[in-house]
A and B are shown apart, each in its own frame.
Chain A
């Protein structure tokens, strides 16, 4: 048991083999410490599972099960049903990558929601199959370079658009679905807290930059996530029973180039005329999101400035565990 930190349980602790600057490790550390160690975590196959469990060593300081790639939501449904049968109410959490959510895991996720299981499904979206070497997924945005969507004479990277998963999930008319990123901790915390107060199926979609697959400086994982939001490419929203009930307003909109230019996966777009057209296309997609969710004019106090405000003399803010956490 690692007890180095009196203010944080470190459900996902040190020694894991994620790349330096990994956004998925960062996201999972924040989410699981907000939930705490008294939960059962079910993990689909993918980077998070692989880098946290190595050579019979585990980085998890909470009950944790590895399912296979496709069926994490089904395994979690079973765990939840079993706990219910025993009269226990330990929270059940699924963690999966975008491949394990948007693609191969989608039908299990849909079934879990449809059957109304009391499970929080967290998707750490790094927009490709990273663990197997950066193959495109249905979450990979338009025009991105991956190993299976290489730019060249006939293509400007991935041809298809990023799947609108949050709408698909919300269309199940489930209690709570929300998007978040690593960049706005107060926003992420509010959403995890809210999800944990609600019963039934819940879904949290956390954009998690990947320095390797996105090809950006490891130090910029948070910055890149922030720009994904501020450009409008990744809207921060909440949906309850299918309706949009919350929007994190953009204090100011950034042009998509600010986001694209930090990442090697978009580098080819800056090389020629075809690329310039794709940049305009991505800008149009961002603008469409902004219109669709009213990201610039939503009537709310909660904007990206507020959502990035740090506390002074911070006192943690993570879940206390039964292992007394005292300052």
Chain B
């Protein structure tokens, strides 16, 4: 229509769109929660569904990337919450609490994973290790129709989730429930089968077109003392494995745990539950003393440390072990001293102790939780030669060694394996999307709301029952509703209300810009709470 049109009628005949020099574009962003999640969950998407009480849909969206939400909601250190934009408004969304709730609901309701295809592939894939990395990889492959066999040396699946993490943090029934749901996709699980011993690496290589090595890092680093194996010196992983196997160790009255990681804290809290007086000796300073600087502060998570202290575990910060003090074969304690430098010139962990600051710490058992290494024995033919079709993931692939990282690497491995077997390169959604920072958020549109936490239940001696309660439907729903929906439209109608030109048209789902009339004022973008609208220059 000509701009000088004078036919009587409606002004819609006159297109004001050619006045503009910029135009709005609706664009999904990739919020920091999902970007930081080591399993690359689409956190915002499942929170939005949960805030709408679409529980099952939320669980299905979450499990696209992470089939272990009930586990991860309990044990993951949730870096997503440190990145959450809401922290700049009041407090971060309790993402892990909602995640756990979804996982628990799925177990309660018996929701089953659905395959993504009914086409059955024929190429056999082997996964070595039934920890989170192996399970995640097998899950992704099985949903896409690939026959998978998981081998594990132990008699129960779960890897370190089962042998390392104590029951009061992760009840075995929860872990087993989620593993069963994964296996129900038709995955073969061969327990008590060590690759490199019960089946040779070469045999495996011959029988499977692709192998995913998710063997963890299970070999404890040891302290140069010959007492290992007797009753007075133990490694943290062995100590925890025995407790997780159900062994009710009878412990001496006083125990020293050496190390500042989560393994040390887990070992200390278990020992405490078995009635011992426990002191943790760690080379670093407490949380918050160096502004969160990694390396200088205790690596175990703050929640864990707080709960341990509340349970009566004592912590000696910035102290190191000088020597074990024995009288004959009997261990009487450890000599500890003040740590000067934690790292050497090369940045390696190598604490130097101040002479003259020694103290005697009485203990009849010392548990060393000073790190673990990968045990490659018997697997050398797979990792030492340049063979295609061999993938390594999870703890075995290096640091960081977290459960969610393992899940993420299982997904990546599955995608790489599929790419190798089908010849189609993997496609990663989200990765091409812009990020969205708090500067893109319009805080005035979000009410301040207190964060809901799962209740902390009392710890009684000798009890390994779970300490943190779930959120329950109501709190999980409210908590999910605290999500700002960073960079994603939540249909608030703002752009539609405010457009002076009726150029934003509301549709059944979402909105569209009517280019015939948009004058490019930019109000819609300015007032979009979540930063979903970008203004782009137009030529002319």
A contact set with B: CB distance below 8 Å: 1-2, 4-8, 10, 12-18, 20-23, 25-26, 29-30, 52, 54-59, 61, 182, 185, 211, 217-223, 226, 305-306, 308-314, 316-317, 327
Contact = CB atoms under 8 A, between A and B. Distances in A.
B500 A308 contact: no
Interface stretch (B7-15, B175-183, B464-472): B7-15
B129 to A, nearest CB: 42
Contacts of A314: 491-493
A59 B493 CA distance: 22
B502 A10 contact: yes
Interface stretch (B96-104, B390-398, B511-519): B511-519
Interface stretch (B31-39, B326-334, B440-448): B440-448
13 contacts: A4-B505, A7-B496, A13-B12, A21-B500, A52-B11, A56-B7, A57-B9, A59-B10, A182-B498, A219-B523, A219-B525, A310-B445, A313-B52
A14 B447 contact: no
B314 interface: no
B347 interface: no
Given A25-B501, A30-B497, A317-B493, A15 B11 contact: yes
Contacts of A57: 5-11, 13-14
Chain B, interface residues (CB within 8 Å), range: 35 or more
Contacts of A327: 508
A15 B15 contact: yes
B452 interface: no
B526 A223 contact: yes
B444 A2 contact: no
Nearest to B19: A20
B498 A222 contact: yes
Main secondary structure of the interface of A (DSSP, over half): loop
Given A29-B502, A218-B523, A312-B492, A55 B497 contact: no
B19 A5 contact: no
A5 B505 contact: yes
A305 B447 contact: yes
Contacts of B11: 13-17, 52, 54, 57-59
Interface string B482-505: 000000001111101111111101
A316 B525 contact: no
A211 B522 CA distance: 12
Given A13-B11, A26-B500, A310 B492 contact: yes
Contacts of B147: none
Contacts of B20: 20
A222 B526 CA distance: 9
Given A14-B16, A15-B12, A310 B494 contact: yes
Contacts of B496: 7-8
B51 interface: yes
B194 interface: no
